[in-house]
Chains A and B, each alone.
Chain A
């Protein structure tokens, strides 16, 4: 008797929560505040929200386009190619915050004296012309560059800065890293390591964020001030994408994220809120 009540409860719980399920997928960067917001809404309003991070920003866009999710998370803009792949879909962008991509290095590189890099130097590293930190003024150590997986918003922002758009980027052969945690762990545990990572993850203890040296010689660090004023060129918006205007449970979610509490979550995870942007 008791077990059947239990079973009934298991069945009933999702039914009571309301017929609609909100499915969200995409960038691991945007996932942090979104996942927590989902938890809060699940607990407080008994909404049925499913969040996943398959394929990063590109996965979010493609699953939204394929109709598998109602909200896609992306830390990059929807490109013309994406729109061409899904001509029937009207991608609606809702910015929820801002983040920056930092070029992070391991402790030994930072303490060896390399604290900033120019765009040309980064290009040379990416294309394999520079392979040792000596060339940048550091101690002699092989540059261990970990490239972000294709499709990751972080990667697209990076090549956008180097080449103008993702298509112009040359194909290169470097070991790949996926999400933010994997990137940070691998950079922290490898000598001479360099990779692209969301600026909020560069904690200055395990990994260190390089400044960008402009042609004039000034160094721009990825501080909140520089990101807010867009002085730091590798900043990127954090988006929730929907097909047309959000409705129903998706609208509830979007409103929450754009509201006071949701924006506080954005700030909590190290990103800039909409009102912080200048």
Chain B
């Protein structure tokens, strides 16, 4: 009887794992199968034509890239600032805990809320209209908790003796930050940023209120009224509003490219995470 339970649990757990992995791998396979025929050199370098029925997604990729670079540039200093505050400057565990709680809460907020916030603040109040900068800032906000928490983890993992050695050598706290903490935490920052970017790349809701349109935008030349195209929004609109069956394959091709982008960003973060894992459990 006991043996039966033992085998039973193993089988059930194994089946669950199989279902989970199989389901998700299967979905990726469907996207790949339907989207692969659309991939070609001209798909990546051409622009949208005929409302998506022809042409390529070049400017959508450029737009997504612009948004991600902006988000990264805006998010990094903020994340470093908060992480340092939590690890170095704040005194008292209660305050640190409070800060971490705020971050956890922010981490759970859906991205559509940031989009709504950006719409009110940037598009309407500041009068920017649709702007790539608004989109980048909104994405930075939604990425912030992910990156900050990853960075705090990394800072925590720095062996205390490094800090002690530096202190013994006469460095004050600020100097320790620049000489020891930041260089050591660089890997964690990169990893956290890549993970945050992977998530941000696929987001539609925050940018559809603030930064993106469906057709016509190329490279923005100002801040106000300078929208960009983007991959996720392109897919979202075409899923509802294409007019030509020819759109079908291209739509899946765009989805495949987006998937590829997100996976690449996640995989780039992998070596960093493996190293961290090793250091923690090695």
User: Could you give, for residues 22-56 of chain A, a 1 whenever the CB lies within 8 Å of some chain B CB and a 0 otherwise?
Assistant: 01100010011001101100100000111111100
Q: Is B227 an interface residue (CB 8 A)?
A: yes
Q: Is A68 an interface residue (CB 8 A)?
A: yes
CA distance A46 to B163 in the complex (A): 60
Interface bin, chain A: 20 to 34
Contacts of A35 in B (CB 8 A): 50-51, 215
Interface pair A68/B129, CB less than 8 Å apart: yes
Interface bin, chain B: 20 to 34
Contacts of B49 in A (CB 8 A): 39
Chain B residue nearest to A185 in the complex (CB): B240
CA distance A68 to B130 in the complex (A): 9
Of A8-16, A86-94, A211-219, A242-250, the one touching chain B: A8-16
A-B contact pairs, 9 of them (CB 8 A): A14-B218, A31-B51, A35-B51, A49-B216, A50-B215, A50-B216, A51-B213, A178-B241, A181-B240
CA distance A32 to B247 in the complex (A): 14
CA distance A246 to B39 in the complex (A): 41
Interface pair A179/B241, CB less than 8 Å apart: yes
Q: Is A141 an interface residue (CB 8 A)?
A: no
Tell me if B's interface is mostly helix, strand, loop or mixed. Answer: loop
Taking A13-B219, A52-B214 as known contacts, 7 extra A-B pairs with beta carbons closer than 8 A to each other, sorted by chain A number, are A13-B218, A21-B225, A35-B51, A36-B50, A51-B213, A51-B215, A68-B225
Select one of A38, A39, A180 contacting B243, CB under 8 A.
A180
- Highest count of chain A CB atoms <10 Å: which of B51, B225, B227: B51
Contacts of A32 in B (CB 8 A): 51, 243
Contacts of B221 in A (CB 8 A): 11, 14-15
Residues 117 to 147 of chain B near chain A (Cβ within 8 Å): 129-130
CA distance A179 to B240 in the complex (A): 6
Contacts A53-B237, A53-B241; is A11 near B219 (CB within 8 Å)? yes
User: Could you give, for residues 186-212 of chain B, a 1 whenever the CB lies within 8 Å of some chain A CB and a 0 otherwise?
Assistant: 000000000000000000000000000
Interface pair A14/B219, CB less than 8 Å apart: yes
Q: Is A255 an interface residue (CB 8 A)?
A: no
Chain B residue nearest to A39 in the complex (CB): B49
